[in-house]
Amino acid sequence: MARRSQFPITIKAGGTAIKIYRSPQRVKVAAAGRTKVVTYDSFVVVHYRGGTRHRQRFSELALAQAEAARIRALLLNEDAVGLQLTGKDLLVYSQAVADAQLAGVPLDQLTKEYVAAKKQLGGVSLAEAVRFYERHGRSVKADKLIPEVVEELMAGLRADNKSDYHINDMKRRLGVFAEAFPGRILGADTTAITEWLRNLKGEDSEGKELEFAPKTRNHYRNAVVQLFNFARDHGYLPKGMPTEAEAVKALTVVPPENAIFTVEAMTKLLAGVPEWLVPSLAIKAFSGVRTEELLRMEWGAFNFETKHITLNADVTKTRQRRLIPISDNLVAWLAPYRHKTGRICERWGRPQAFVQAFERASQQLGIEAGANRFRNSYISYRVAVTHDVQRVALESGNSPRVIQREYLELATEADGKRWFGILPPADRPNVTTEHHAKPKQRTIIRKRRTA
């Protein structure tokens, strides 16, 4: 205990003096029928604020000194609220200040952050949120922007030797998504992605705005889901949690009534288009290869002895090697080209260019030739003559379910036999079999049939 001569103890707070006085308390105590006076130590903290004298009594010097130090700190910080508190509120405030100091955050900022967190969490306690973060949030190793994750995914697809078709398709769809969502992948939510999908539009061949069908929107959704799954696997999203993209509902797709060519329409088409289009259209009509596959195929894929087309994994959309039978009528259509080498479609590098070429030629003949009509026709007529969906699925690189849902049309076995009986006209012109690297050097002679 401080000696009597030390009092009062003066503590300076700028221009204000805080003093601690020793003020013993004398109390009368009755004992054994007698009354005696007992003296207890007592210390009073005094300071002036706003012209008013404030004093507090404590039973121990240490408590008085702690209070004086607190008042000094509050005065120096000009904390009027803390100086006005007394009793229980004062203890609460003092503890809050101490906790804020331990957290290394000013008390006002601490309370603002807590209130904001509680508002966002609703009925969930902050402790529960912290436990959830410990379980899931710590698995996030990096905060990435969506365009960055797209680039990483594309590099991964190329490193995994995915098909060019799949890579280009993902690049196109995710490029549109990254342009609409350039921010953090942690910040993208289900509502925003759903709204983006609803507003997606494309362009037709003439540049006119085009509404996307539900199936097309689902393709975009699936690409985004794959992107978010990739991000989760690589620590850019919490592990063990569904992603925001997965919560986006897929649209219900009503299977379209896919049109097919009639035998008469295909006969007219092959007889009327320019000769340089004939081999490509015949291959599509009587083997069912996809346009993207056809543009990568070379003449060496055809084995006219065994009557099979060999599509290697680097050509097919699914990256799986497959064999396609060469029908007798396709042998006849390709007879002038049996000794050619190199790419079959030398003229085109992009599927869109090829599609536009045969659509223009077919329109001149008054025939509607959509991009999928060749493949749909082949699969429908092939199933009609084989009665074997599983077999046709293997040949065409599709699942039986997809064929049943999207490609199967009502065609009779007789229709199928007529389809695969379409032969070149007897007066078909001769075609040179020399291979030239540039399409413009090809020598093609074709006599037009007269009505």
pLDDT tens for each residue of 333-360: 999 998 899 999 888 777 778 888 888 8
Q: What is the dihedral of CA 96, 102, 106, 108, to 10 degrees?
A: -30
- Is residue 104 scored above 90 in pLDDT? no
Average pLDDT over residues 85-114: 78
> With bands split at pLDDT 50, 70 and 90, how would you rate the model's confidence at 448?
very low
Owner of token pair 């921010």: 183
Q: Amino acid letter at 183?
A: G
For residues 325 and 287, what is the distance between their CA atoms, to the nearest angstrom? Answer: 7
- The more confidently predicted of residues 420 and 112 is 420
The token duo for 86 is 């007394």
pLDDT of 135 reads 66
For residues 56 and 36, what is the distance between their CA atoms, to the nearest angstrom? Answer: 27
For residues 329 and 324, what is the distance between their CA atoms, to the nearest angstrom? Answer: 14
- Is residue 14 scored above 70 in pLDDT? yes
- The more confidently predicted of residues 291 and 447 is 291
- The more confidently predicted of residues 60 and 163 is 60
| CB of 276 closer than 8 Å to CB of 439 | yes
pLDDT of 204 reads 67
- Name the DSSP letter for residue 47: E
The token duo for 309 is 């087309």
pLDDT of 451 reads 31
pLDDT of 5 reads 60
pLDDT of 129 reads 72
Please spell the DSSP secondary structure of 125-167, one letter per residue: -HHHHHHHHHHTGGG-----BHHHHHHHHHHHHHHTT--HHHH
Q: Find out whether the peptide bond into 8 is cis, omega within 30 degrees of 0.
A: yes
pLDDT of 209 reads 82
CA-CA distances (angstroms) from residue 1 to 22, 46, 61, 67, 189?
10, 19, 7, 17, 65
- The more confidently predicted of residues 12 and 51 is 12
CA-CA distances (angstroms) from residue 93 to 74, 100, 152, 242, 302?
12, 10, 51, 42, 87
Helices (H), 122-272: 126-135, 146-159, 164-180, 190-198, 214-233, 263-272
**Among 330, 324, 328, residue whose Cα is nearest residue 266:** 330
pLDDT of 223 reads 96
Helices (H), 86-136: 87-103, 107-121, 126-135
The token duo for 243 is 């992603």
Residues 6+ apart with CB under 8 A from 299: 337, 340, 341, 342, 343, 344, 435
By three-state DSSP, how is residue 48 classified?
strand
Angle between helices 126-135 and 107-121 (to 10 degrees): 80
Kindly report, residue by residue over 174-223, the tens digit of the pLDDT.
Answer: 999 999 999 999 999 999 999 999 999 877 666 778 888 888 899 999 99
For residues 19 and 103, what is the distance between their CA atoms, to the nearest angstrom? Answer: 31
For residues 227 and 153, what is the distance between their CA atoms, to the nearest angstrom? Answer: 7
Per the prediction, the chain carries an average pLDDT of: 84
Whole-model pTM?
0.53
Share of the chain above pLDDT 70, in %: 88
> With bands split at pLDDT 50, 70 and 90, how would you rate the model's confidence at 80?
low
> With bands split at pLDDT 50, 70 and 90, how would you rate the model's confidence at 263?
very high
For residues 149 and 185, what is the distance between their CA atoms, to the nearest angstrom? Answer: 8
Q: What is the dihedral of CA 156, 158, 161, 165, to 10 degrees?
A: 120
